[in-house]
Every structure is written in C-alpha cells, then in structure tokens.
Structure 1
Amino acid sequence: MAGEQSSGTFVSVPGESAELKARSAARVVSCEVMATDLPQSVPSAGVDPARRASRARVTLSWPLDNIGPSLPNLVATVAGNLFELRQVAGLRLEALRLPPAFAEAYPGPAFGVGGTRRLAGVEAGPLIGTIIKPSIGFDPAQTADLVDTLCAAGIDFVKDDELQSAGPTCPFEARVDAVMRAVDAHADRTGRKVMVAFNLTGDLDEMRRRHDHVLAAGGTCVMASLNSVGIVGMVELRRHSALPIHAHRNGWGYLSRHPSLGWSFPAWSALWRLAGADHMHVNGLANKFAEEDGSVIAAARSCAEPLVDGAPMTVMPVFSSGQTVWQAAGTYEALGTADLIHCSGGGILAHPDGPAAGVQALRHAWEAAIAGRPLADAAATDPALAGAMTLKA
C-alpha cells in the first residue's frame, strides 16, 4: 500500500535511491492485526479464493511534499489504486489526519451553523425542514404553490429533491423565480424569510450561472450533489458562492455499504468540509435506507470534529430519510445539541391534517425532546402531534 501510492512500483527501478525513498516514500506508521482466519471480503485477482484473510488497522503517512495541499491529489493518493491491489481483499478508509497546510489552502465552510441560523432566522432549536415532494414532476408554478403552502405552515427550510435540477418540465431559472416570489411575499407579510436550497448541480459554468440567478432573485441557499460534481466542482462552487452550500451525499451507499470496502463518513466528509460545504447530509435515525443508527450518529458528530489544529470547520448536519416526530427525542439524546436541520418529507406533507399541522407537530416534538418530556405525554394535549404519531417509515 505504501509503496504503490508513493515512490515504488511492482519491480525496482533505476533512480529509486535510498535518498529518494527517505524524501518521498510513504511510511507504515502502524499495523495492528485485529482478526485472522477470515473469509475474503471481495474476490481478489491473483489470490486463491479459498485462502483465508487477516484484518488489520493500518496507519500510513505520506510526505506533504509529494502532492502539496491539494484535495484532488490527496484523494488520488489515499484512495487511488489502493483499492485495486490484488493483495488486498477489502479496504476501508477510516480516518484522515491532515496538516495545517490544507486549512491554509482551503477555507472550508463560509457559513456553517452560525451563518445558516442567521440567514434562516432561527436562533435556537433545529431548523425544521422538508423536501419538495413529489420528488420530480412539478412545473415551476406547482413547485411555488407547494413552497407557498409550506411557508404559511411555518417551515424553516425547504430543499429541492436531488432528482430535480433543470429538466424541461421545470427549468431551473423559472423554478427559482416562481419559488422566490412566494418566499418574498411571505417574508413581506411576516418579516421572516424561509431558506430554500435550490439544486444547481451541473457543469461548472452552469453552477456559477445558477448560483448567480439564485443570488439575484434573493435566495439564501444552493444545493449540490457531491458525487456528481466532484471535489473540483465543490471547490470552485465554494470560491464563487456568496450563499450557503447544502451538500447532498446521494450515492453514498456505493462508497460505504460493504463494511470492508470504501470509506467511513468522517473521512469522506472531511474532503467536502474542506472544500466548502456548509450543510452535510447524514441520513437519519430509523431511516428508510440500510444504515444503522450508530453510524448515523457517528456521522452527525463528525460534522463538528476538528479537521486540523485550530480549524474546526464545523458544518450543519442534515437529518433526512423517513423522518417523523418519532426520531426527534432519540436524535437529541444522542447528539446533545439541536444545531441541525431535520428534514421530514412525508412526515410533514402527509400529515392527516395538512402540512401546517405537520410542521407544528415536528417543532413540538423537538421542544418536548429538548425539555426531556415523553412524546406521548406531549401529544396528549396536542392534536397535531398526536396526528403525526400515526406516521411511521
């Protein structure tokens, strides 16, 4: 692993001197064997499939001079051809420890928790959010009608679904214009502007143009699909953006689902925090996907963990996926903070008494959670909350 990803190759070559190795070779800092006599995690070319495997925790160190403080080249080094090595039947990148040079090269989130709260007008408690549903199929006017309803319902945050970007049925600019007319009309009446994350995922020039359109229309947030735009796309969007960037992790499963292959969320999200994400999706408790609750909470906690000395680069975790009033207490108990966005799609829009009751119920569920009050007790005198308890993923 160390040789392949630094100065070595499959045979000795002229020029790989002791001096060059001392200067440029990666080092194996530690190799702690965790288990032996295990079945291979994935088929490995050139290795007998019947051969048993060991599992170890390995720490590798690369000289910064090999790549400089460059996120694209960091990825090529720590997650490049390592996964293809025939001697490795499974490999998972668990953690990254980066030198201060990376924090000097990349400014990280421009808004984070504090800036998001300021723009959304939510000083305390979670941002109660939702997703445009149906995910795709509405035209701009229909989308704006739903946002108008949600604004009237008291929502804090609305986001496009990741499937909705700029198709012919719902062009990006027309959608932004229609939605912002509804948002601004509500703000004129109430003095409070709902934050809407418009999905501008696209080519670099498209994302810049779309960002500028949102900014000119008075919008306060943009959204990008990380695995679609890539590291360079996120870095360039951060350099250009005057708005918070809502980072969606769709496709995360193919990087993480096998326990012996891929990335841990803290390691993977470190790249995007440095690149400039302000919000990071972390799934949700009792979600509709395959991720276990412990993994979700670990992901959310990692959003506040320092990346390098003196540069915490805290981002706001976004909980979504089958979220209802039932998850508020467990989420707060596990995190001990309400610095988060709690997005409930069906849990708000499918409330039996309508979206306003759905927003009210989720907000009251969080108030009960923070106060340490059981959900059933709070619902006994709260019809909206009682109605929301009939919805489960």
Structure 2
Amino acid sequence: MARFSVTYWIGVASETEARARALEIAVEQTVEIPRDIVPAGYIEDEILGQIESVHPCTDTRGGFLTEISYSDDDIGDDFPQLLNIVFGNSSIRTQTRVETMTLSPAITTLLSGPRFGIVGLRERTGVKRAPILMSAIKPVGLSTAELAGLAHQFALGGMDYVKDDHGLANQKTSPFTERLKACTDAIGDANAKTGFATTYVPNITGPSDQIFERAWMAKEMGAGGIMLAPSLVGFDVSRALAANPDFGLPIVSHPTFGGTNVITPTIGFSHRFFYGILQRLMGVDAVIYPNFGGRFSFSRDECLAIVDGCTCDLGGLKPILPAPGGGMTFERVPEMRDAYGDNVMYLIGGALLREKSDLPAACRKLIDAVRTGR
C-alpha cells in the first residue's frame, strides 16, 4: 500500500531519545495503544506509523528530525482525518513540531488542491510577470458607503485585488450583504471607467451555518474571489469550496487566530508547512502572512521558507501566491522586490490609506514602484 510521510522536529539530546520519541509519535498518531499490544499483521505492518529516518537537526534548535510514514488507509477519504494523522494528539506535546510532509498519489486524488494558483490568478488579473497588488478597505466602523468609496478609489488606481479587512464581518455599520453589493458595484463602476480588471474579495468568515451561503452570495453578486480565515472557520472549508466545480472563485487565506501555530520554534508547525504546504492542501490560491520587517516578528528566512512552501513541487498540486502583509511601505519596495521577485502578491493597506487626499494617485505610484522600479 502507498504511504505518505511527515517530518517532525524533536527536541531531545540523544539519538536514543529521539528514536524513542519517534516511536511514541508513530504509535500516538495511528493506533493510540501501547506498542506491545499492537495486533500483528495488517495493523502492525500497514496502519502503524513507520519510522523511516532519524538524524540530527543542523539549525540552532539542535535536536533531531525524524521522518515517519503513514498508510493511505489511515486517512480513509477525508481531509480532517489526514490532518489528524499528521499532527493529532502529538500536537499537544512540547518539543515536537511538524516541519514538512510528502504526499502519496491517494492524497493528491483526495485533494484537488488550489483551483487557480499562481497561473490562474495571473490570468484573471492580466499581470503576466510582475508582482500582483492587493489593498484592503478598513477600518471597522466605517459605513458601507465609506468602505465602498475606498474600494472605488483603489480600483481607479489600478490595484489588482481589493479585499475586506479581516475584521469586517456583519457589523451594524456595514452589514455583509449590503457591503458586498456596494463594493462590487463600486469596483465595477471604476473598472468601466478605467478599463482595469480590479477584483473585489469579500471576507466570508463567519458562523459555520453562514459561510457557504456568503460564499455563493459573493459569486452570484459578481465578486471575483473570497477571503476566509481557516484558523477561525476550519481547514476543510476552503477545500470544499475549491473542490466544488460550480463555485470557481479564487480563495484568499487570512492568518488571523493562527499565529500560535508557528511563532514558537519548538512546537506547532514550521512556517513553510503552515503557510505553504497546508494552504495548498486546503485549496487556497493566495495566502496572506506577516511580512518580515513589519509590525510582526517573522524573519526574512521564515518568510522565504513560506514562499518555498507555496511554490515547491507538491505532488502536482498547483503553486500558490504568497501574499506578505503588515508593514509594507513605499520605501520598502526595493527590499521586497529583492526578497520575493515576481511571484508574490503584495498586500498594502495602511500605507496607501495615509494617502487619502489622492488615493488613486498613490496606487499608481505604488504600481510604478513595484513593476517598473521607479
């Protein structure tokens, strides 16, 4: 039977300890009974996790890396169970972290992955090589008319995508349905005037019994994509939307509520896995994450590891656009271009909103800086 594998970092001092901990993970993630009573035959040979390798970790954490393989039969036919096998009960332990994983053919059959990815998002924007640009309407508390006005100005300036701030939900100042229509109409009006193809991306994050309704409403009203926060709504929501052949809108992932999964280097997930590989498994087309040098603590190396997770070979699943945000400014454009190159979606909000006296002109200035170096 085919197997997939997960590489874990284990914070112990010796290889003997590492092998013992690796065996604990292999047992815990599969049979969850003492090793000495695992039934012989199919369960022991196939279902039980198998230690493939154990070797020292060469980064500053020390410890060891272990690769453990799991049977396709462990996951059945659903994505949540795959995640349960990858890091279920073992996620409760300290000094244990998921670094990466390899896929089996069965997983790539089960998970269709991103519908659009980098190539599809470029086709929708018409931007063939340069970075794609996204702005955000905010803050919470503005009226629907004010938010739609901002969306209109961003579109007049030629931004590729205009999204809701992740804090915009269904507040009384701007109810979801009202905002969806107003912003879609505002951007459509701007596009008609300029010939640009700006896309509105509403935030559909909300109660579980309303998420899919909001997603389909966005499609029906003419939005060009949707944004959700997987750490709030669940990792399977984007997979279900991406896999639905009748939905067909790009999905943008927002990192809110997920920071504790990555910010401690000895527990949780590597940045590469959480913001790259996992997002592609979920069917996300672009993933927002905190940029280095901004108001969050991600390092340049961690951000570049995210880019690798978004774009590396992953069993045929499409590469997706990394979308660094939080601290993007005009002055940092050369630094960002040097770090990320072309295959990136810059998310810039506050720095543009500061230029409210002529927001379209500020957008055009940013586009020139990012795409022509001027």
Higher alpha-carbon deviation: 317-326 or 197-206: 197-206
Gaps of 5+ in 1: 42-53, 370-377, 379-393
User: Number of paired residues?
Assistant: 346
Rate the CA distance shift 1:98–1:340 in 2: closer, same or farther, 3 A.
same
1:31-50 matched pairs, under 5 angstroms: 31-34=54-57
Cα shift readout 1:313-337 (whole Å, capped 9, x = no counterpart):
111111210101233222222333x
2:318 alignment counterpart: 313
1:92 alignment counterpart: 97
Identical positions, percent: 25
1:103 to 100, 108, 113: 108
2:29 corresponds to 1:5:
yes
2:242 alignment counterpart: 238
Q: Shift of the alpha carbon at 1:364? A: 2.3
- The 8 Å contact of residues 304 and 312 in structure 1, kept in 2 or not, is answered as no
Cα shift readout 1:326-370 (whole Å, capped 9, x = no counterpart):
33222222333x12211111211113863233212322222354x
2:91 alignment counterpart: 83
Q: What SS class does the counterpart of residue 303 from structure 1 fall into?
A: helix
Q: Which whole-Å CA distance do the structure 1 matches of 2:348 and 2:31 have between them?
A: 49
2:119 alignment counterpart: 114
- The 8 Å contact of residues 324 and 362 in structure 1, kept in 2 or not, is answered as no
Q: Which whole-Å CA distance do the structure 2 matches of 1:104 and 1:18 have between them?
A: 27
1:187-336 matched pairs, under 5 angstroms: 187-240=191-244, 241-268=247-274, 269-308=276-315, 311-336=316-341
Paired amino acid for 2:265? P
Q: Which whole-Å CA distance do the structure 2 matches of 1:111 and 1:24 have between them?
A: 34
Q: What SS class does the counterpart of residue 210 from structure 2 fall into?
A: helix
Q: Which whole-Å CA distance do the structure 1 matches of 2:221 and 2:359 have between them?
A: 26
Q: Shift of the alpha carbon at 1:291? A: 0.8
Q: Which whole-Å CA distance do the structure 1 matches of 2:63 and 2:299 have between them?
A: 22
1:63 alignment counterpart: 71
Paired amino acid for 1:291? F
Q: What SS class does the counterpart of residue 318 from structure 1 fall into?
A: strand
Rate the CA distance shift 1:149–1:352 in 2: closer, same or farther, 3 A.
closer
Rate the CA distance shift 1:301–1:271 in 2: closer, same or farther, 3 A.
closer
Q: What SS class does the counterpart of residue 68 from structure 2 fall into?
A: strand
Paired amino acid for 1:302? G
RMSD: 2.3
Cα shift readout 1:149-204 (whole Å, capped 9, x = no counterpart):
22222322211111112222211110011112211111222232311110011245
Q: Which whole-Å CA distance do the structure 2 matches of 1:210 and 1:82 have between them?
A: 35
Structure with the bigger RCO (C-alpha within 8 Å, sep 6+) is: 2
2:81 corresponds to 1:73:
yes
TM-score (norm 2): 0.85
Q: Shift of the alpha carbon at 1:75? A: 1.2
Q: Which whole-Å CA distance do the structure 2 matches of 1:164 and 1:352 have between them?
A: 20
2:56 corresponds to 1:29:
no
- The 8 Å contact of residues 128 and 359 in structure 1, kept in 2 or not, is answered as no
Paired amino acid for 1:73? Q
Q: What SS class does the counterpart of residue 214 from structure 1 fall into?
A: helix
Paired amino acid for 1:153? G
Q: Shift of the alpha carbon at 1:69? A: 5.0
Q: What SS class does the counterpart of residue 104 from structure 1 fall into?
A: helix
Q: Which whole-Å CA distance do the structure 1 matches of 2:317 and 2:266 have between them?
A: 28
Gaps of 5+ in 2: 1-24
1:385 alignment counterpart: none
Paired amino acid for 1:75? L
Q: What SS class does the counterpart of residue 158 from structure 1 fall into?
A: strand
TM-score (norm 1): 0.82
Q: What SS class does the counterpart of residue 211 from structure 2 fall into?
A: helix
Paired amino acid for 2:145? A
2:348 corresponds to 1:344:
yes
- The 8 Å contact of residues 282 and 300 in structure 1, kept in 2 or not, is answered as no
- The 8 Å contact of residues 227 and 251 in structure 2, kept in 1 or not, is answered as yes
- The structure that has the greater radius of gyration is 1
Q: What SS class does the counterpart of residue 284 from structure 2 fall into?
A: coil
Cα shift readout 1:8-37 (whole Å, capped 9, x = no counterpart):
524744x622553122211111111348xx
